[in-house]
Structure 1
């Protein structure tokens, strides 16, 4: 992909309705690979409260929440979070993401993940970012690999999805800068 087709930005209160619509459209798809969300996750008010909380989390260096926007029309097509922020000797976090199923297979999430990783390394000065994906979701594993993550192993029985404990492939990327 020579020119970026997507961009990422922090979520804003005005995004609540569009995020809610995206999650509702993709609920069945997302629920296959993610811990089941409570019904309230699919309400606009809940999304608004999450966005408001995300601002405080960002200020307090706990979590960073981004939306993925299609460059052509500015439409929100996904979300990415950097969570489980640990400072001190670890300087690490975990990346997680969701992409509207209609946009799968076009390289959009790989590009968005690369943008967030650059921000995490250059601006937030993380040393290491971990991502996990279900082995049943090879597309998600490919996103991380194409973004420069390397497989580290399998976390056995670590995430409960639809009432069943599932294994997850663990991948990580290390900040190439030695100035950290």
Structure 2
């Protein structure tokens, strides 16, 4: 466990064979903004419409504040993904909408820089988050949704052991338009999940 002053308590840092995940800090701004800017045309078709100030330092401050609040409330964990061999930022992954009680569920969302796509980094990151969600957070179900045309995202989820459960009609407003999404899920006692557990 590593401690970052931004969050004022111990925050998880997850390490796998190829990637490591940690919560973002103020010092990550320049690397984050460079990767997001160079990957903009690659990312925009799959994300909510970018705000005019999307990459400004003021928007970064708001983003970090939201990450901090969600972490403290226990509703989300926003990780940055770093390649172990180079130490470079390759993308981000969030376990959000965390609910306990009768649900014990969370929802995974992610993005990756264009130059790092298709190299297996995201599959590794998803598996790390799933293991943390099941083993440490004691969640029972992890969900993810992706646009049917997003073949890369479909591949990531299926390689990580998620099963497609259905189609959510007009589910999320992406890049200014409402899109259907496939719903994927992984349950803690699924055989694919059991093999990921520590």
Task: Flag whether TM exceeds 0.5 (same fold).
Answer: yes
Which of 96, 101, 104 aligns to 1:88? It is 101
Q: Deviating runs (4+, > 3 A) in structure 1?
A: none
- CA RMSD across the alignment: 1.7
**Do structure 1's residue 61 and structure 2's residue 74 form an aligned pair?**
yes
Q: Which runs of 5+ in 2 are unaligned?
A: 1-15
The corresponding residue for 2:39 is 26
Check whether the contact 2:46–2:147 (CA below 8 A) recurs between aligned residues: yes
Matched residue count: 176
| Partners of 2:50 and 2:175 within 8 A in 1 | no
Contact 2:157–2:184, Cα closer than 8 Å, also in 1: yes
In 1: Cα distance, 2:54 partner to 2:135 partner: 32
**Aligned partners of 1:45 and 1:162: how far apart in 2?**
22
Q: Which runs of 5+ in 1 are unaligned?
A: none
Residue 139 (structure 1) aligned to one of 133, 152, 156: 152
Per the alignment, residue 79 of structure 1 pairs with 92
Distance in 2 (alpha carbons) for counterparts of 1:70 and 1:45 = 27
Measured against aligned partners, the alpha-carbon deviations of 1:114-134 in whole angstroms (never above 9, x if no partner) come to 011111111111111110111
Contact 2:24 2:80 in 1 (8 A): yes
- TM-score scaled by length of structure 2: 0.83
Cα distance change of structure 1 residues 56 and 161 upon mapping to structure 2, 3 Å threshold: closer
Q: In 1, distance between residues paired with 2:62 and 2:30?
A: 12
